[in-house]
Amino acid sequence: MHGSKAYRGQRDSELVALVAEGDAAALEALYDRYGRPAYSLALRILADQTLAAGVVQEVFLSLWRGARRFDPSQGTVGTYLLSMTHHRSVDVVRREENLRRRQGPEEALALATGPRAGIEEEFEGVERRARIRAALAELPEPQREALMLAYFGGYTQWEVASLVGSPLGTVKTRMAAGMRRLKDELREAGRQEQFPWTRR
């Protein structure tokens, strides 16, 4: 029995406030909400279970150490945890690339089809996954390709330009256009239904 079960109905923002007071069970409750997507993301980028677990542990440790400085006006804790996982995974994949071959562009471009067999996902994750996949599917192919190479491959804009054989300026424009469209699509979906992950 995990102590974090007592926090099941708490909002994320309430959990961060408890973490700031040194409540270890509140951190575990946040891990129970975001540990799985964070680990899935880190593993996708790093293609190595040990490195992925190390990144996720470091991200939750950074929240544990810095929760008092967490400013909810700058974004939700879910966004913080997943963005931080992405940033750290990209840092690690770049650091490691001299030691081993990182995942190739083909792996970076593969789209999620859904949870693997045997994994039961909570409603929020299912909804959120469906929405981002639909939004990505709406993007013109060159925009989606540029975004996914950067996000899942950890490639810089310059590296993406050389991978796809387009001028750097074109790649920058595609990434910004793709991000803008995803933002609008997700916002539109959020208007129809409150995003559970924007809860404060």
Partner 1 sequence: MDAPVNHSDYEELAAGFALCALEPDEEQAFQRHLEGCPACKASMREFEEVTASLAFATPVVEPPASLRAAVARTTRRLPRAASRRRARTRARRHGRTALHPAGRPRP
Q: Name residues contacting partner 1, limited to 116-175 (CB under 8 A).
A: 116, 119, 121, 125, 128-129, 131-133, 135-136, 147, 150-152, 154-158, 160, 172-173, 175
CA distance 185 to 131: 9
Footprint on residues 24-53 left by partner 1 (CB under 8 A): 24, 27-28, 31-32, 35-41, 43-44, 49, 53
Residues whose CB falls within 8 Å of the CB of residue 121, separated by 6 or more in sequence, listed in order = 115, 129
Exactly one of 15, 18, 139, 182 binds partner 1 (CB under 8 A); that residue is: 182
For residue 168, the minimal CB distance to partner 1 (Å) is: 10
Give the number of other Cβ atoms within 10 Å of residue 18's Cβ. Answer: 19
Q: What single-letter amino acid sits at 56?
A: V
83 binds partner 1, rule: CB under 8 A: yes
Of 15, 19, 18, 48, which Cα lies nearest the Cα of 33? 15
Footprint on residues 1-20 left by partner 1 (CB under 8 A): none
Rounded to an integer, what is the distance from CA 186 to the centroid of its chain? Answer: 15
70 binds partner 1, rule: CB under 8 A: yes
Q: Which C-beta is closer to partner 1: that of 132 or that of 164?
A: 132
Exactly one of 5, 11, 22, 140 binds partner 1 (CB under 8 A); that residue is: 22
CA distance 99 to 24: 36
For residue 179, the minimal CB distance to partner 1 (Å) is: 4
Give the number of other Cβ atoms within 10 Å of residue 19's Cβ. Answer: 25
Of 16, 137, 169, which Cα lies nearest the Cα of 78? 16
Q: Which C-beta is closer to partner 1: that of 10 or that of 43?
A: 43
194 binds partner 1, rule: CB under 8 A: no
Two tokens at 24? 């270890």
Exactly one of 170, 180, 188, 200 binds partner 1 (CB under 8 A); that residue is: 180
Q: Which C-beta is closer to partner 1: that of 2 or that of 11?
A: 2
- Taking a C-beta distance cutoff of 8 angstroms, is the pair 85, 55 a contact? yes
Q: Which C-beta is closer to partner 1: that of 10 or that of 179?
A: 179
